[in-house]
Every structure is written in structure tokens, then in C-alpha cells.
């Protein structure tokens, strides 16, 4: 624990944590990545990369409860439906479930013609053979072989030098060619090789081993092999990964016959950044999982990457138009919850609780409507520019209902938004301020969130339902051209039924004069009205700001008749003044 610091220094002096930092060393002391003439920082991403969804393999192998056939099936259909064309469907030599799933896809003709399934295997003869057995009858497939190449794995897992590890890879590649010819001669096989634990591998050796595998697999520019460079463990900042990818892009042997793929994990929390910078650095393909499921802290999140492109005006070529359905399906398949604040798909990511955000969002949405009206176009065609909402929630199948939610951190903007969108009451600005104080008092007292229904009740109790000391009963107005309005109202004053008469310049003036006659010192300071609905049941809302006995109060009245609504609003202000 930090000790308490008492000296009055600025900035405050932090204390050593006591963590065993001596046990760790910086990445640059482990692997050298030097690229002083890097070009990736000046490049932009201008198109979607090739995507490969590995939920059914890398995602699946990280689950507490790996997917059964039904969950695998649902995930496969989801990925196909979203538009993924390369899908790693399993590690068929690892388990009967994986093997049977691949068979089921092939035998039941479930793989669309434009979709390439991918299967993973270690570079071990019997596993490769079994992998090809699983592919019998497939029209096409990507066979993905891997072996680990990092300095530490060479030393502690395999006990081999570089040449030994290269032999594992090239023997695996030879076995793969052999079984492809023997077992699946009618299947179009495309090759993928991953130097697993690439981030812990010296770059020259990574390039060398990929080149050696390519010598065996003989890719051509017309039939490229995929070279996949995984951040099996994310070990450094994303710029270092990008440097390494640009280095490989420049130095890979047979580069013209290779598709450069990346497979970031998220150990340092930078998987998305690493993937994006890798694209700038020359990568053409990304492997990842929906909502970032995967070993440890996960694979890179395909939803985040795709949506990031979309919000830059670049088509991700993946359909995210029903993000909640995608999230529900993923939660079902993985039996893991997607956190509420997960980028783009979490339950709370289009919701603002805080006052200034709500205020700005409401103004942004109002501005969009105005611009659409001025341009005579549907609001959906107006360029999206709303503060705090980098994407229109509607574009991903979310609605505005949940955009603004009110709790003790909220201000008038949020309160006004809910009252308008949920209760069709377009409160004038100063009334918004007054009512938001009423809501604030409630949230301070009760804690938690005020949902739209509760807010409607608070509003009604404050402005509409007070019946003492005044209750408006019946209203009769008459006016003749050139004359002042004459008004007669039936009203209960302190429980006693009275008939008040007044005259003035309009019914409001006449009513105020009538109230003066029974001792109410009221002046109308401001007035606004608003049609709440249309059609036969149309009602009007009137808002008045009154001075009652020298204090300022807002009142609200709702009625089918705007005159009666206005008088009710004055009564509401008077009753609020009486406490
Ligand atoms: C980073 C990644 O995600 S890589 C993918 C990891 N995914 C999985 O492992 C999930 C599926 N795997 C499995 O179910 C099992 O590992 C199986 C069934 C495939 C194999 O199981 P086993 O035969 O018991 O071997 P195991 O996986 O423990 O591997 C250990 C042996 O294979 C060797 N090996 C591991 N990976 C590879 C590889 N890619 N290529 C060649 N040899 C390898 C190891 O050096 C070790 O050899 P040793 O027995 O001589 O010491
Ligand atoms: C097999 C490889 C690509 C892998 O999953 C990893 O390195 O994370």
C-alpha cells in the first residue's frame, strides 16, 4: 500500500508500489524491431480488409463451456448472415465435436459457395491427416497449419533451435500437401501458415520460416497463401506491432504470393489499435472474434473493428444493422455476457446519464431535424453530427428511447428529452430548468435512475394533480368584436365552490383579474403552448410562468381546449405557490 504523503508538493509525489518490477524486462530488450523509415503513420485505412472470424476455433477454445453442436451451428449461421466469407470453423483433429461439426457443415451442404471454411491443425502428421479426413467432400477450404516460433517457446517448450523449428513447420507443410492430394483431391485447398507466438519471434527468423513454408506450399500470385502473423500474446505497444508488420511486408520472401494476415490478441488492451495500425502497415486480412472473445483477454474484436470503419464512412462489408441480435446470439453461443460498455454493442453505449451530455445530444438531434426540414430531405439522409454519439443508434438497430436516461447526474437536457420523446411535452427552457430541479430532488432522495414512466408521475404530481387550494371546474368565455373578453369560471377555492367573473384583453387576462378579486396576486410573465397530439383526441398543453405573491412559479395545464389548458396552467402555478 502507498504510505500517506504529507509534504505539500505539487504535483503530489507518488510512492513506489512494492510490486516485483525486477522480474520483468521491456520488450525492446527481448525482440528488436527497428524500422526508422516506417511509412505506416502516414497511411490511412480506406477499405475493409479481408475478415476471418475465428469464433468457432480460437473463441471456442477459450470458453469455460465450449460450444456444443447447436451453439456452433448458431454461431456459424450468424457469421454467414453477417457477411463473413472466411470462417475458421474448428480444430477438427482436437475433438470429436469439432470434427463432427465440420462433417455436418459439409454433408448437409450448409456452406454457401462464396464462403471458405478454415480449419486449424498443429504441424503434426497424424493431426494433419485427421484434419483432411474432416474435409472430405468440401468444395473448398483453407487449411491452417501452425507451429510456435518464439524465442521462449523454442527454449522451454520445444527444446529446439531455429533449424529444428523450421523443420517442424516444413514437415507439417509437406504432410499437408501429401494428405491434400491423397484425401481431398477434389477440394480446392488454400493454405495458411502461422508462426505462432510471432510477437516473441525475431523478425528475420519469422520471415525466414514463412519463406521456408512457402517453398513447400508453392503459392503463386494467382493462388496466394495466407501468412498470418499473430500477436499470440500482445507484448508491446501497437506502434511496435505496426513496425514489425511493415518490416515483414517489405521483407517476406514471395510477398507477391502471400496474403498478409494479422491475428491480434488483447493482453495489453490494445488489440484493436494494433489491428488498425497493422492495416496501415500493409496487412490485408484480420482474424478476430465477435465482441473480442478469445484466450485470456480475448482476440481482437471484429465488431469494434468493423464499426470503427463504418463510422469513418467506410463500408465494413459486414452487416451490423441489428447489433442487439448479434450480441444476444454471441452471448448464447459463448455463454458469456458482453459487458454493458463494450464498444458499439454494449447495452449502455448509446445512453447518456450526465447532464451536459444529454443537453448536447438533445440539441444535436434537434439540429438534425431542423437541417432535414430546411433541406427538404428525410432526417436519415442528413450527415450525422451529434455530440457524444459517434454513430446514429438507429443505424445499428437501436432506438433513441434508451439514449438519454436520467439519474442524479442528469440535467435539464435529459429531463426535457424524456418529457418530449415519451410524454409529448415540449417544455420551455426555464420550465425545463425548474422541473429538472424537481427530478434532481427526487433522485437525490431515492437514488438510482428515473425511468420515463416515473418521470411522468413526478411531473403530474408537481404540475397537474394539485387540487388545493384552487380547482378549476367549468369555464365559459364570451367576447364581442372590439370589446374585452368576459369570462366566467366555476372554481373551488379552498374547498368552497365559487363562480368567478372577470374581464380583460383575452381570457388569460380576464381570469387573472377574476383571481385578483378573490385575493390572488398573480401576474403572467411568460406563456407557451404546445399541441400534444393530433386527431380527434388532440390535446393542448399550456405553460405559464407566473409571479404569485412576488415569487415565480411555472404552471402546466393540459386540456382539449387551449383556453381551459391555459387557465389550468395558471391554477397549477397558484397551487404550487401555496405549497
Ligand atoms: C495460440 C493458439 O491458439 S494455438 C491453438 C491451440 N488450440 C488448442 O490447442 C486446442 C486444441 N488442441 C488440443 O485439443 C490438443 O492440443 C490436441 C488434441 C490437438 C493435441 O493433444 P496432445 O497430442 O495431447 O498434445 P499437446 O497439445 O499437449 O501438444 C504437445 C505436443 O505437441 C507439440 N506441439 C504443440 N504444438 C505444435 C505444433 N503447432 N506443431 C507441432 N508440434 C506441436 C508439443 O511440442 C508437444 O510435444 P511433446 O509431446 O513431444 O512434448
Ligand atoms: C494459431 C494462431 C494463429 C493463434 O491462434 C494465435 O497465435 O493466437
Chain-wide mean pLDDT for the chain? 93
Could you tell me whether strands 225-231 and 258-264 are parallel, antiparallel, or unpaired per DSSP bridges? parallel
Distance 18 CA to ligand 2 centre (A): 34
CATH 3.20.20.70 fits 46-334, yes or no: yes
Q: Is 536's pLDDT higher than 90?
A: no
What is the edge-to-edge ordering of all strands in the sheet holding 522-531?
A: 522-531, 540-548, 551-559
Asked whether the domain spanning 470-577 has the same topology as the one spanning 46-334, the reply is no
The C-alpha torsion from 459 through 462 and 466 to 471, rounded to 10°, is -80
Confidence band for 468, pLDDT divided at 50, 70 and 90:
confident
What digits encode the pLDDT tens for the residues 440-454? Answer: 888 888 878 889 999
- For residue 93, the ligand 1 atom closest to its alpha carbon is 19
Kind plus residue range of the DSSP H or E element containing 3: none
Distance 278 CA to ligand 1 centre (A): 28
Q: How far is CA 86 from CA 115, 122, 176, 543, in A?
A: 6, 20, 20, 60
Rounded Cα gap, residues 317 and 405, in angstroms: 32
Q: Considering only CA atoms, which residue is closest to atom 6 of ligand 2? A: 232
Tell me the average pLDDT across 104-112.
98
Strand partners, 197: none
Q: Write the class of the CATH domain 355-463.
A: mainly alpha
Contact 77, 42 (CB under 8 A): no
Rounded Cα gap, residues 572 and 362, in angstroms: 27
What digits encode the pLDDT tens for the residues 300-339? Answer: 999 999 999 999 999 999 999 999 999 999 999 999 999 9
Q: Write the class of the CATH domain 470-577.
A: alpha beta
Q: Considering only CA atoms, which residue is closest to atom 2 of ligand 2? A: 196
Q: Per the annotation, where are the binding residues?
A: 58, 263, 265, 299
pLDDT at 199: 98
Confidence band for 48, pLDDT divided at 50, 70 and 90:
very high
pLDDT at 74: 98
Confidence band for 53, pLDDT divided at 50, 70 and 90:
very high
Q: Which three cell numbers stand for residue 214?
A: 512457402
ipTM for this model: 0.97
Q: Is 5's pLDDT higher than 60?
A: no
Distance 494 CA to ligand 2 centre (A): 80
Helices and strands per DSSP (H, E), number in the chain: 17, 14
pLDDT at 359: 87
pLDDT at 507: 86
Nearest to 93, CA basis, from 178, 194, 176, 198? 176
Phi, psi angles (nearest 5°) of residue 460: -60, -45
Rounded Cα gap, residues 542 and 79, in angstroms: 53
pLDDT at 2: 53
Q: Considering only CA atoms, which residue is closest to atom 48 of ligand 1? A: 158
Indicate the range of 80-84, 373-377, 547-551 predicted with least confidence: 547-551
Distance 370 CA to ligand 2 centre (A): 51
What digits encode the pLDDT tens for the residues 131-182? Answer: 999 999 999 999 999 999 999 999 999 999 999 999 999 999 999 999 999 9
Confidence band for 567, pLDDT divided at 50, 70 and 90:
very high
Q: Considering only CA atoms, which residue is closest to atom 7 of ligand 2? A: 232
pLDDT at 482: 59
Distance 220 CA to ligand 2 centre (A): 24
Q: Considering only CA atoms, which residue is closest to atom 21 of ligand 1? A: 94
Q: Is 57 in the pocket of ligand 2 (CB under 6 A)?
A: no
The SS3 of residue 156 is helix
Q: Per the annotation, where are the binding residues for Mg(2+)?
A: 58, 263, 265, 299
CA distance between the termini of the chain: 53
Would you list the domain boundaries of the chain? 46-334, 355-463, 470-577
Amino acid at each position: 500500500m502507498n504510505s500517506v504523503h504529507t509534504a505539500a508538493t505539487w504535483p503530489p509525489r507518488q510512492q513506489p508500489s512494492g510490486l516485483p518490477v525486477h522480474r520483468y524486462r521491456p520488450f525492446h530488450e527481448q525482440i528488436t524491431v527497428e524500422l526508422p523509415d516506417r511509412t505506416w503513420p502516414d497511411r490511412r485505412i480506406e477499405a475493409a480488409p479481408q475478415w476471418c472470424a475465428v469464433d468457432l476455433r480460437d473463441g471456442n477454445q477459450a470458453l469455460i463451456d465450449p460450444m456444443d453442436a447447436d451453439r456452433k451451428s448458431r454461431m456459424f449461421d450468424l457469421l454467414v448472415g453477417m457477411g463473413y466469407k472466411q470462417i475458421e470453423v474448428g480444430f477438427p483433429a482436437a475433438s470429436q465435436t469439432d470434427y463432427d461439426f465440420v462433417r455436418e457443415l459439409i454433408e448437409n451442404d450448409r456452406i454457401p459457395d462464396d464462403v471458405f471454411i478454415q480449419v486449424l491443425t498443429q504441424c503434426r502428421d497424424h493431426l494433419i491427416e485427421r484434419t483432411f479426413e474432416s474435409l472430405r467432400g468440401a468444395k473448398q477450404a483453407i487449411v491452417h497449419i501452425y507451429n510456435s516460433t518464439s524465442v521462449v517457446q523454442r527454449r522451454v517448450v520445444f527444446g529446439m533451435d531455429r533449424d529444428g523449428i523450421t523443420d517442424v513447420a516444413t514437415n507439417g507443410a509437406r504432410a499437408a500437401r501429401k494428405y491434400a492430394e491423397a484425401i481431398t483431391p477434389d477440394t480446392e485447398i488454400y493454405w495458411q501458415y502461422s508462426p505462432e507466438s510471432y510477437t516473441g519471434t525475431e523478425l528475420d527468423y519469422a520471415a525466414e520460416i514463412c519463406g521456408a513454408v512457402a517453398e513447400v506450399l508453392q503459392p503463386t500470385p494467382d493462388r496466394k497463401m495466407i501468412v498470418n502473423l499473430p500477436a499470440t500474446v500482445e507484448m508491446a505497444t501497437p506502434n511496435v506491432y505496426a513496425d514489425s508488420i511493415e518490416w515483414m511486408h517489405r521483407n517476406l520472401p514471395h510477398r507477391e504470393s502471400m496474403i498478409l494476415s494479422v491475428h491480434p490478441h488483447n493482453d495489453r488492451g490494445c488489440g484493436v489499435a494494433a489491428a488498425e495500425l497493422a492495416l496501415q502497415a500493409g496487412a490485408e486480412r484480420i482474424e478476430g472474434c465477435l465482441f473480442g472473445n478469445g484466450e485470456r483477454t480475448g482476440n481482437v474484436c471484429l465488431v469494434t473493428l468493423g464499426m470503427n470503419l463504418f463510422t469513418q464512412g467506410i463500408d465494413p462489408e459486414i452487416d451490423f444493422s441489428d447489433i442487439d441480435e448479434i450480441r444476444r446470439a454471441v452471448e448464447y453461443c459463448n455463454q458469456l455476457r458482453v459487458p454493458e460498455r463494450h464498444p458499439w454493442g454494449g447495452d449502455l453505449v448509446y445512453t447518456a446519464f450526465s447532464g451536459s451530455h444529454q443537453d448536447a445530444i438533445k440539441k444535436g438531434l434537434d439540429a438534425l431535424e431542423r437541417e432535414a426540414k430546411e433541406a427538404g430531405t428525410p432526417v436519415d439522409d442528413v450527415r450525422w453530427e451529434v455530440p457524444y454519439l459517434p454513430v446514429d443508434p438507429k443505424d445499428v438497430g437501436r432506438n433513441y428511447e434508451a439514449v438519454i436516461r436520467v439519474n442524479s447526474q442528469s440535467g435539464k437536457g435529459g429531463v426535457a428529452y424524456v418529457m418530449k420523446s415519451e410524454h409529448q411535452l415540449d417544455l420551455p427552457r426555464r420550465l425545463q430548468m425548474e422541473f429538472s430541479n424537481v427530478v434532481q430532488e427526487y433522485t437525490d432522495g431515492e437514488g438510482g435512475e428515473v425511468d420515463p414512466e416515473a418521470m411522468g408521475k413526478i411531473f403530474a404530481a408537481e404540475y397537474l394533480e394539485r387540487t388545493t387550494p384552487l380547482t378549476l371546474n367549468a369555464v365559459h368565455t364570451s367576447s364581442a368584436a372590439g370589446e374585452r373578453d368576459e369570462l366566467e369560471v366555476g372554481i373551488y377555492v379552498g374547498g368552497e365552490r365559487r363562480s368567478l367573473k372577470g374581464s380583460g384583453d383575452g381570457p388569460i387576462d380576464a381570469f387573472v383579474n377574476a383571481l385578483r378579486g378573490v385575493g390572488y396576486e398573480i401576474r403572467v410573465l411568460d406563456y407557451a403552448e404546445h399541441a400534444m397530439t393530433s386527431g380527434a383526441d388532440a390535446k393542448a398543453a399550456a405553460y405559464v410562468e407566473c409571479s404569485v405573491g412576488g415569487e415565480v412559479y411555472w404552471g402546466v395545464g393540459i386540456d382539449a381546449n387551449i383556453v381551459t389548458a391555459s387557465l389550468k396552467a395558471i391554477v397549477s402555478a397558484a397551487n404550487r405557490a401555496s405549497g
